Amino acid sequence: MFESIARTLFLLVSKSRLLKRAVSRYGTRGPHSFARRFIGGETFDELIATLHTLSHQGFSHTLNHLGEHVTSRDAAHTASADYLDTVDRVGLAGLPCKISVKLSQIGLETDRGLCVENLRQIVTAAKRHGGFVRIDMEGSALIDQTLEIFERVWADGHRNVGVVLQSYLYRTSADLERVLNLGARVRLVKGAYNEHPDIAYPLKADVDAAFVHLSHRLLREGTTPAFATHDPQMITAIRAFARDHGIGNEAFEFQMLYGVRRDLQMALLADGYAVRIYVPFGLEWFPYFMRRLAERPANVGFVIKSVLYEQRGS
């Protein structure tokens, strides 16, 4: 009951232009502001500075230009153009060009053909800079279309493209088999959308068990798999399996959100693991942040705990 009310509240807040304007005036002001902690920057100059800092610390990165679920062809064109600009500017800055794209952001729900063409352009542009494009997975209603478009671009001969799979869905084991048969790269996440128990595990213990099982398959059969989690238990399970099966640290990577459990990020890096930071950036940080909380209201506590862990030095 509480989660339903909280989810509705966060979604309403995310659409409030008045609140967005008010909060945006102060939310990212200064390097220690709350929003700035979790967003790589509103401008390209801020973003480039953030990426240089991460690189200097030893982290790799993947970029997400904020925005999703566009409702017009013009908005899809604009989002695609923003990504093309991002690819070129990051590449020209001499930084690795790795980006994550939601297909709903570049036209999936408006014009599928346009979405495919936009994705092809982004993947081609990234390739010019030696870059890689990860297709983020969205709610269950878009999974089949997302996988079909991914396979279509893969069939064009593009190999600098990968996809995300979510352990909380019953279908993911079959989806993983489908992607492994291609030899494509997978980022494994738990999943945060509000899905019905008919299609997703309702209990955290079952989601965790599925994550561990799928991670084992990826470590055995995958191509440089990425495990996106801040859960110490999941990380411990992955490390133990890799160690017990003679799988080197260079064969996989951990991925974490910018600003979340920075202490854990540094600890993994110090232990010799590859750690990639998912860096959202752009002006749409307020609706992005509210939607993340709406997808899983427990994220409020998660963010607070993340800050407290670091302050306590855990």
In the chain, domain spans: 51-285
pTM for the full predicted model: 0.86
pLDDT at res. 14 = 46
Is there a catalytic annotation at residue 82?
Answer: no
Active-site entry in 136, 208, 292, 296: 136
Helices (H), the chain: 2-14, 17-24, 34-38, 44-57, 73-92, 112-128, 143-155, 172-180, 204-221, 232-244, 262-270, 285-295, 299-312
Residue 28 in 3-state DSSP?
Answer: coil
Q: Which CATH architecture has domain 51-285?
A: Alpha-Beta Barrel (3.20)
Rounded Cα gap, residues 224 and 71, in angstroms? 35
CA atoms within 13 A on the CB side of 8: 4
Is there a catalytic annotation at residue 89?
Answer: no
Task: Provide Rg for the chain, Cα atoms.
Answer: 19
List, for residues 129-152, the tens digit of each pLDDT value. 999 999 999 999 999 999 999 999
Active-site entry in 187, 276, 292, 296: 187
Q: Could you tell me the pLDDT band of residue 193, with boundaries at 50, 70 and 90?
A: confident
Spatial CA neighbour of 274 closest among 39, 58, 16, 105: 58
List, for residues 276-308, the tens digit of each pLDDT value. 999 999 877 766 666 656 555 555 666 656 555
CA atoms within 13 A on the CB side of 122: 35
CB 65 within 8 A of CB 83: yes
